[in-house]
Amino acid sequence: MIYSVYGYGKLKTEASIGLAIRAVANKHKVLYAQFLKGGKSSETKVLRELGVTCVCTNQLGFNHTEATENNCKILLNSIITHICSSPVQEDLEEYDLIVLDELLVAYDLGYIPISYIRDLIYEAKNHNVDICMTGRVNSKTKRNDIELLSDIVTNAYAVKHWYNKLCKACNCEYQYHYEYCPSCGSKLEKSNPPKKGRDF
Residues spanned by the domain of 81: 2-155
Q: Say what the pTM is.
A: 0.81
Nearest 5°: the CA angle 175, 179, 184 is 90
The CA distance from 124 to 115, in Å, is 14
* Whether residue 169 sits in one domain with residue 122: no
- Write out the chain's pLDDT in tens, 200 residues: 999 999 988 899 999 999 999 999 999 999 999 998 876 778 899 999 999 999 887 654 555 567 788 889 999 999 999 898 866 555 567 899 999 999 999 999 999 999 999 999 999 999 999 999 999 998 999 999 999 999 999 999 877 776 778 888 888 877 777 788 888 888 888 776 655 666 65
* Whether residue 99 sits in one domain with residue 12: yes
For the chain, the straight-line distance linking the first and the last C-alpha, in angstroms and rounded, comes to 28
The type of residue at 54 is C
* Whether residue 45 sits in one domain with residue 16: yes
Domain count along the chain: 2
The CA distance from 173 to 157, in Å, is 15
| Helix, strand, or coil (residue 156) | coil
Domain with residue 59: its CATH number is 3.40.50.300
Q: Answer yes or no: is 200 within a domain.
A: no
Q: Which helix (H) or strand (E) holds 167?
A: strand 165-167
Reduced DSSP (H G I as helix, E B as strand, rest coil) percent helix, strand, coil of the chain, to 5: 35, 20, 45
* Whether residue 109 sits in one domain with residue 133: yes
